[in-house]
Structure 1
Amino acid sequence: MAGAVPAGPRLRADARRNSEQIRSAAIGAFQGQGLTVPLEEVAKAAGVSKATIFNRFGGRVGLIEAVIEEVVARELFALVDRTRTVDDAGERIAYYLTAIRDLQYRQPAFNDVLLQTYPHSGQLMEICRVGSVANEEFVEAARAGGALRPEFTAGDLHALVLDNALALKHGERPSREDYDRRTGYLLDGIRGRSSGAL
């Protein structure tokens, strides 16, 4: 048609802008409410339709995988790396457990990852694998150093973290003061008898 403006570049620019708006909205929504937040809320915050999310990302799992590094993975992996810099095994496990519980309190999306809410996401399952490896590493080192009860296992730590994830996701949210106090009780309960305070 004579005088028509080529649509290709304009459509590509609009698509890129929509994708970035969706990503930004998803990061905020997932960090604030978890990975199960209704997609309608993400679409509304992004100024697009829910159908646009499916067109750009293929649905919820695709959207999660597009932003999960910013929402959870980057902070969790940095936490694990920082934990490895703590020389004393007892202090290391105390730091790790305290930091994990802090992340659970602040980031609802982390609890959804731990609970494997979307097991078809390869990225989410990889985050869980990294967490499991870290649990084994830090628990075994602390047990070997006498900082943990000898019967306490990485499986026990995993169960405690999952119980906490379920309580935060489905129960009444405690105050930060109460939550941190209970973290102290938990550390006292798993401490080895011959060790000092964790």
Structure 2
Amino acid sequence: MAGATSAESGLRADARRNVEQIRSAAIGAFQGQGLTVPLEEVARAAGVSKATIFNRFGGRIGLIEAVIEEVVASELFAVIDHTRSIGDIGERVAYYLTAIRDLQYRQPAFNDVLLQAFPGSPQLMEICRVGSEANEELIAAARPSGALRPEFTADDLHALVVDSALALKHGKRPSRDDYDRRTCYLLDGIRGRSSAPDGW
């Protein structure tokens, strides 16, 4: 009986180790290549078989659910929280859009979230919902102040970040300098007169 208990304990320890190795490999792969990275690559990095990923997580959706907090949600929610803490509405808009585009450039998985690449993941869809609410909240606060063009809407903001996600995922990746310069162009294009530079 004692031998059986020891064997079961060993199996549980192996299973826990496999789970942590897979989680760590998935976080690295998703952050580097996005949520569509082949599971074979995750398995190889974790030192397990692809079948083990299915056994432990049920497949890609389960794996996404297990690590999406570390990969995307925590950083996005920190951006949203910091945005809300900025008093000046013009600065709030500039920070939010710059930070979101920075996330898009650095984290391919964030673009997969924006594109709702895996609608079967409840957590991914919840991140989208929270992001959409943050967009609407920001635009609702900014438009009456004159910080944004009066015709600019939350749908426009959503379209801009989705367009960027599509370009980064499927197009030629720009240099960081070019990307940041285009962020400045974008901000200049949506600013209202109250937040435009002198001489605008």
Which TM class, normalised by the smaller chain length? over 0.9
Distance 2:152 2:4 in 1: 72
5+ residue gaps, structure 2, are none
Distance 1:157 1:4 in 2: 60
5+ residue gaps, structure 1, are none
Q: Classify the secondary structure of the residue corresponding to 2:195.
A: coil
Taking a change above 3 Å as real, the CA distance of residues 4 and 144 of structure 1, as seen in their structure-2 partners, is: closer
Deviation at 1:98, TM superposition (A): 0.3
Distance 1:72 1:87 in 2: 26
Alignment of 1:149-168 (within 5 A): 149-168=149-168
Q: Classify the secondary structure of the residue corresponding to 1:116.
A: coil
Q: Classify the secondary structure of the residue corresponding to 1:84.
A: helix
Choose 6-15 or 156-165, whichever is displaced more: 6-15
Taking a change above 3 Å as real, the CA distance of residues 18 and 151 of structure 1, as seen in their structure-2 partners, is: same
Preserved CA contact (<8 Å) 2:71 2:109: yes
Deviation at 1:52, TM superposition (A): 0.1
Q: Once superposed, which parts of structure 1, at least 4 consecutive aligned residues long, lie more than 3 Å away?
A: 3-6
Deviation at 1:192, TM superposition (A): 0.7
TM-score of the pair, normalised by structure 1:
0.96
One-letter code aligned to 1:124: L
Aligned alpha-carbon RMSD (Å) = 1.5
TM-score of the pair, normalised by structure 2:
0.95
Deviation at 1:90, TM superposition (A): 1.0
Corresponding pairs, count: 197
Identity of aligned residues (%): 82
Q: What residue in structure 2 maps to residue 34 of structure 1?
A: 34
Deviation at 1:195, TM superposition (A): 2.6
Distance 1:35 1:196 in 2: 38
